[in-house]
Amino acid sequence: MVFPKNCFTLREEININFLSLYGEAAKTAVGFFWKSGWAFILGYVISAIIQSFVPKTRLTKYMGEANIKSVSLSTLFGAASSSCSFAALAAARSLVLKGAHFITAVAFMFASTNLVIELGILIFIFLGWQFIAAEIVGGLVLITISSILIKFTYPKKWLKEARKKVENDAPEEEEEFNWKERIKSKEGWRLVGKHFVGEWMMVWEEILIGFTIAGFVAILVPEELWARIFLINMTDTLPNWLISLENALVGPLVAAMTFIGSMGNIPLATVLYSNGIFFTGIMAFIYSDLMVPPLVAVNAKYYGKKTALYIAGIMYVSIVITALLLNWLFGMFDILPESTRQIAELTQFKIDYTFWMNIVFVAIAGVMIYLNRKYHQNKEKDKKTDDDEMKNNDNKSKLSIKRKIAYLFIIILVGGLISFIIT
C-alpha cells in the first residue's frame, strides 16, 4: 500500500511538535529548580539551625488550653519547625499526645506550612513581596479564624475519640539541652547537618513532583482552561467581587486535585498567577497544601475519618474567609498585585545572581552533608541509634508509591531534556 508523501510530512510535524512541547515543558520544570535551588538550601539551613538550637520541649507544656497564649506558642513552634506537610501532621499528632489542645494543634499545622522561612524565600522569588506579606498576615489570620471556628463548633465526642486513638503511640521526647553550650560544640553543628539532610529526605519527592507538574502545566495546559475554571473570561460580564469569591472557593479544590503539598505548590501557583488568576484564588491555592487527599488520609489514620474531615472542613472555610479578607485589605491599601510575571522569564538559564548563589549554596549543602556524615559516624557506637537506623533503612528499602512516582518523573525530565536538545 502506498501512502501520499504529505501523510509522512504531517506525521513528522506532529512528532516534532510533540517533542518540542515535551522538551520545553521539561526545560521549564528544570528552570523552576534552577531559579529556586539556592533558596531551598538557605531556607533549610536556617530551619536546621532553629531545630538544633531552639529548645521546644518546654513550650509544649503550655499548649493544653484553648487560649491566646497556647495558640501563640504553637504558632511560634510551627514557624520554627519543618515545612514538610507530612512532618507537620506528625508533629501535630505528637503535640496532641503530649496534651496539646486540638486548637493549638491546628494552629501548629498552619504555622509550619505557611510561616516558615524557606517558604517565604520561595514566594519572594516566584511571586513577589506582596505575596510574602499576604502569606505572613494571612497565616496569622488563618490561625485566628480556625481557632474561633473550632472553639464554636468543637465536636467533643469526635475529638475525645481522636485523642484516644493516638494515646497508644509513644511520643518521641526531645532531650532538654542548654542551647548556649550546644551552639559552641561540634556535636551541635553536626546536628544541624543531620536536620538539614533529614529535611531534604522528607521533602525532595514533593518538590520534584510539584515542580515537574508545574513545568508541564505551564506549557501544555491552555490559558483558556484556567480562564474557564476561574471565570477570568467573564470579567466583562460579572462583578469582580463575585469572581474573587469564586476564585477563593475554587482555589483549594484545584490545590487538592494536584495532590501537591508543602513547597511544591509554589511554582504551580506562579503558573496560575501568570494566567491572570485573581489574588484570592492564588492565596487560597497556596494556603491549601494541607487539604490534598494524601494529607487528609494521614489525618484520618491519626485521628479517624470523622475528625480528619472535620479538620479539612475547618481549614477550607478558614482559607476562603482569609483569602477574601486579604483581598479586601490589600485592595483598601491599593497594593493588590497584578499578574505581570512570565514563566519564560523566571526559568531562564543565564549567568546572573541565581548562577552565583546556586554555586555558593551547593558548597554550603556539601558542608551540611559532611556534618551529617560526621554526626552519624559519632553515633555508630550507640546501639540504640544503630537499631533505629536499621529500621529506617528497612523502611526506605520498601519503595513507597510517592517514591516510585518521583523516580518516574526523573525519567520524564531526562527524556524531556533530551528532546529539548535534539529539537
Q: How many CA atoms lie within 13 A of 363 on its CB side?
A: 5
In a domain, residue 366? The reply is: yes
Neighbours of 10 (CB within 10 A): 11
175-184: list long-range contacts, CB under 8 Å, 24+ apart. Answer: 175/57, 176/55, 176/57, 176/58, 177/55, 179/53, 179/54, 179/55, 182/52, 182/53, 183/53
Q: 325 is written with which cell numbers?
A: 479578607
In a domain, residue 190? The reply is: yes
In a domain, residue 417? The reply is: no
Structural domain of 85: 32-378
pLDDT per residue, tens digit, the chain (423 aa), is 444 555 546 555 566 688 888 998 999 889 888 888 888 788 788 878 877 887 766 666 677 777 888 888 888 888 877 666 767 787 787 777 777 788 888 898 888 888 888 788 888 888 889 999 999 999 999 999 999 999 899 888 887 887 777 665 544 555 567 778 889 899 999 999 998 998 888 778 878 888 888 889 888 888 889 989 999 889 889 999 999 999 999 999 998 887 666 666 888 888 888 888 999 999 999 999 888 887 888 788 888 888 889 999 999 999 999 999 999 999 999 988 876 556 656 666 777 788 999 999 999 999 999 999 999 888 776 655 445 444 455 444 567 888 899 999 999 999 999 998 887
- CA-CA distance, 192 to 368, in Å (whole number)? 7
| pLDDT value of residue 386 | 47
| Domain total of the chain | 1
What's the whole-model pTM score? 0.75
413: Cβ–Cβ under 8 A, 6 or more apart, which residues?
26, 29, 30, 212
- Maximum Cα interatomic distance, the chain, rounded to a whole number of Å: 84
DSSP reduced 3-state for 332: helix
Q: Which of 256-294 are b and which e, b meaning 16 or more Cβ less than 10 Å from the residue's Cβ? A: bebbbbbbbbbbbbbbbbbbbbbbbbbbbbbbbbbbbee
Give alpha helix (H) positions in 115-185. 117-126, 129-153, 156-166, 179-184
Alpha-carbon distances of 158 from 71, 88, 155, 169, 303, rounded to whole Å:
21, 21, 6, 18, 9
In a domain, residue 423? The reply is: no
CA 165 to chain centroid: 27
**DSSP symbols for 52-78:** HHS--TTGGGG-SSSSHHHHHHHHHHH
| pLDDT value of residue 170 | 43
In a domain, residue 395? The reply is: no
In a domain, residue 398? The reply is: no
190: Cβ–Cβ under 8 A, 6 or more apart, which residues?
371, 372, 374, 375, 378
For the CA atoms of the chain, what is the radius of gyration?
Answer: 23
In a domain, residue 158? The reply is: yes
In a domain, residue 133? The reply is: yes
| pLDDT value of residue 59 | 61
Q: What are phi and psi of 58, to 5 degrees?
A: -65, -30
| pLDDT value of residue 160 | 80
